Amino acid sequence: MPPMSMTALRALMNAEVVSIQRSWLVRVWAGFALVTSVLPVMMVTDDSEVVSEVIGGWLSVYFIASAIIAAILGAGSIAQDADVAADTILTRAVTRWDYTGAKLLSRAACVVLVHAAATLPLLLFARRFGLDDATTGGLLMATVITGVMLLFVTALGIAFGAVLRNMIAAVVLIMVVFAAQGLIFDFLNMEYLSSSAVLEMLPDIIRGDRGTWDQSRILLAFGAGALALASMAGVAFDKREF
């Protein structure tokens, strides 16, 4: 990977942040995440034994909905901006790696901020009401794992967006690949590589019933996958013709 210009990257990042702030999709996503984050609090009353199941179930539903939005954000960031990218790269002192890097970093920051805002109430809730059934460390790890998986989907979206020029085709392909990945690795009993298996084990993680090694393997697998996809996106966009 050639060195990136920090000045160009900073300028592109500023433009991307403004674009994301104006995005109706991001606003809907943030509103959905914040509003639904109170559902576990409303569903759990005096029976603290179901805290892990309720929060684990909410995290699974939240992840599936957020993954679709993250895929659209990632794929659309490049697939829909072909004309803008050509003008930016061909007429200004900006490299293709600068452009791709700004897309990756801005989308990753958006995912992290929305995810943190949505899951922080859960941490506070479990700390206050659910210690009998949900450890603070287990809940923190569950939210970190779902966040890393969302970053994986975002990187997958940007990679497919760099390869395909049609955003809808890229998003559909992302959903198919991600669903197939979960089913295949689940069938092979490689739970730490299967998104569906990881979602199923969230209540166990929240209760602290999963060991450190199991949790570390999940983070390493999806974290390394996100980095690999980010590199693939840069290479694919670098070879793209305008």
Per-run averaged pLDDT (10 residues), the chain, 242 residues? 61 77 86 80 60 84 90 76 50 69 87 89 68 76 93 89 79 84 81 87 87 90 91 76 57
d(Cα 143, Cα 231) in Å, to the nearest integer? 25
Please, what is the angle between helix 96-129 and helix 24-36, to 10°? 20
- Residue 44 has a pLDDT of 63
- Annotate 115-172 with DSSP letters as a single string: HHHHHHHHHHHHHHH-TTT--HHHHHHHHHHHHHHHHHHHHHHHHHHHH-S-HHHHHH
- Residue 90 has a pLDDT of 45
- Residue 124 has a pLDDT of 75
- Residue 80 has a pLDDT of 58
d(Cα 69, Cα 83) in Å, to the nearest integer? 23
Token pair recorded at residue 33: 């995440």
- Residue 128 has a pLDDT of 65
